[in-house]
Structure 1
């Protein structure tokens, strides 16, 4: 029988998860709107990819400079800063009359995501009742990837069926951010020994020698999975509109959202499949998703785009959660935070560098051929990681990390 304390704990946990959703929603809100911005400001595919990648640079900067901020100043102050950056990002998009505003909005959105990624996950788990760590991990996972999926879905629906497509999505998110701040202020702080902001120190990437055999394939799989998300969210709206004649912004938003929702399902499956099997299986499913994306680019078939979103998203979820668990399980406790931060830096580099590469190639080769070059390179990378893992499987002890 669930006691009153447990019910209150789970309510707080779910409310923190709702705040997490709002924070992450803002990071993908512009995705289905990029074709409209191209029409409005007249910029190229390369510019779209650079605007998108600026977000990843913001995330990496926060992870390196203030990755442990919530452990130092407290969960609520860190998340309030994250909501503040999200609100400032929305204001930039509301005021946008040129590229500078888009760059600023994406950079601020990256700052928000960098703070939310670690702080909100820890906060959701802190607020769960004793013994509820595994369930709280699922809440945090669903809130993170579900929030990322809600962004393009919300923006696409509003852009298609409501007035002011370049303004209303951000006005709505600004209201949601304010409501999330009110909810956050009513939740308790869980860090007992807080220190001033000046105590926050930059975190250096770290990779102890004993972690490297596990880290290398895990990092490759994470890089490829995030690269797939990066390319999918930055260029798929233009591809759908230009080559498949999908002019409905709601449909575009839904297709992108499917990748994030499928990732949630993939991450949830790790607990049942186990880390040792999930990492190579995730690589195999990622390979299939990339192959479907290549097929979609070559044949201009919408069904293959949808399948690549679902299959690739599921593979990313399987591979990334298993990668996190495997790396955490192989790392000494006193180095764990630094090593996990290093894995996140590699993953978010996957969102930025390949995306800009596709943008650079799209001018001389065209969007479809540039996408095919990208998928070819990523297929080689994920295949090499999968083969490595089949020859040197992750040790079974890392499965304990899946429950955390």
Structure 2
């Protein structure tokens, strides 16, 4: 009993460390308007600064995504926390656009290292027989941390002094605490090698996976693209179209999308993998429709509903997609297939967002957003139609 209690305490502490790191990746979201006023750059630059993060994550996942299997969880996690601290320092010292690029790049490196290593660490620290609860801890830490970042920054920027400095100072202190926790927790990888054994992971797609992978990848792409738009340009839309300049409100709207995704992922256990992917596609379609209505009629309530419904759809579809492609993959190629899915997902969080930024100048944010919604609707409708004809087997 005491061993179980110690195991769960370690598991929860590792989850808290994971959440702190992920919160840093979304911390700048409600602050981009301040940076635009201070440094004088366009909406396109906002989306490019945001997308740098995703490109860094993709690079780390492909090049050293399996590093913690070789050298241990704690060294990789500590390295990731070091990048998170360096990112916060860049934002604290920012005197121009270049600092923001470097800060987002470091944040992406941090998330790329932490995502796999910390998820595995949380699972391994849990007592025997606690895999289901440990999965809940890891999921809540990941998506909950992403949601807490904009909420924390929004509240501090609105109600405390130094809006461009205090959020990152607070996060730096939290990272220091996370480092102390990691140093206290035990290592879970017993047989460790060196970085020489780490090899780049090539994306792979065996023939037997392709039928499942297509709709799964499309749904993942659209879900992450929706998150990308919420976290990069929704604060600007709230300020320009709805005259809602309260940073806490814009941070809360973004946070709701991530919190709702957590709820959607947790619902997969009850809904089942076979139904979660088509239901997730339906949720994404509903979220896109609500966002279109918000853009068309300038209604804050529809923005909030879009964040909630779209977030649930994203959670259902992504966990369903991950489970489906993992089950369909041969064991010796499973890691490569999952890496490919993550590459598609993080491409979704970057490329469409830059497209919105490119269109924002000639068309305005509302027009660019409607074009984005139309393109994403076509994609997710294609995936949904395919799933109606060839459902994912319930056994996956």
TM (norm. structure 2) is: 0.99
Cα separation, 1, equivalents of 2:132 and 2:383: 28
Q: 1:283 matched to which residue of 2?
A: 281
Cα distance in 2 between the residues matched to 1:283 and 1:116: 28
Match of 1:274 among 269, 272, 275: 272
Select 2:21's aligned residue among 11, 23, 33: 23
- Using the alignment, how far apart are the partners of 2:365 and 2:151 within structure 1? 24
Quote the residue 2:262 is aligned against. 264
Aligned position for 2:165: 167
Looking at structure 2, the residues matched to 195 and 47 of structure 1 have their Cα atoms a distance apart, in angstroms, of 42
2:54 maps to which residue?
Answer: 56
Q: 1:149 matched to which residue of 2?
A: 147
Matching residue of 2:303? 305
CA positional deviation for 1:27: 0.2
Superposed CA offset, 1:17-36 (max 9, x none): 00010010000000000001
Aligned residues: CA RMSD: 0.6
The answer on 1:118 being equivalent to 2:116 is yes
Q: How does 1:90-239 map to 2 (within 5 A)?
A: 90-239=88-237
Q: Is the 8 A contact 2:275 2:394 kept in 1?
A: no
- Number of the residue aligned with 1:88: 86
The whole-number CA distance in structure 1 between the counterparts of 2:373 and 2:40 is 27
Hey, what's the Cα distance between the residues in 2 that align with 1:34 and 1:237? 8
Q: The residue matched to 1:97 in structure 2 has which SS?
A: coil
Is 1:384 the counterpart of 2:382 in the alignment? yes
1:39 pairs with one of 37, 45, 55: 37
Displaced runs of 4 or more, over 3 A: none
- What CA distance in whole angstroms lies between the structure 1 residues aligned with 2:179 and 2:198? 23
Q: Output the CA distance in 1 between the equivalents of 2:116 and 2:313.
A: 22
2:233 is paired with a residue whose SS is: helix
Unpaired runs of 5+ residues, structure 2, are none
Q: Distance in 2 between matches of 1:95 and 1:247?
A: 25
1:367 pairs with 2:371? no
d(CA) in 1 for partners of 2:265, 2:96: 38
Q: Describe the superposition over 1:243-282 as per-residue Cα deviations: whole angstroms up to 9, x where unpaired.
A: 1011110111001100000000000000000000000000
3-state secondary structure, aligned to 1:366: helix
Structure-1 residue corresponding to 2:348: 350
Deviation at 1:356, TM superposition (A): 0.3
Matched residue count: 396
Residue of 300, 316, 324 corresponding to 1:326 = 324
1:50-83 CA distance string (max 9 Å, x none): 0000000010000010110111111111100110
Q: Secondary structure at the match of 2:395?
A: helix
State the distance in 2 between where 1:131 and 1:396 align.
24
- CA–CA distance in structure 2, aligned partners of residues 300 and 35 of structure 1: 19
Q: How much has 1:195 moved relative to structure 2? A: 1.0
Determine helix, strand or coil for the equivalent of 1:279.
Answer: helix
Q: Does the alignment pair 1:341 with 2:336? A: no
Q: Deviations over 1:68-112 (max 9, x none)?
A: 011111111110011000000000000101010000000000001
Give the aligned partner of residue 73 of structure 1.
Answer: 71
Task: Write the distance in 1 (CA, Å) between the matches of 2:228 and 2:370.
Answer: 15
Identify unmatched segments of 5+ residues in structure 1.
399-404
Q: In structure 2, how many angstroms separate the alpha carbons of the residues matched to 1:187 and 1:216? A: 40
Aligned-residue offset at 1:302: 0.2
Deviation by residue 1:287-334 (Cα, 9 ceiling, x = unmatched): 000110011111100000000000000000000000000000000111
Q: CA deviation at 1:198?
A: 2.4
Q: Counterpart of 1:316?
A: 314
User: Partners in 2 of 1:105 and 1:300 — Cα distance?
Assistant: 33
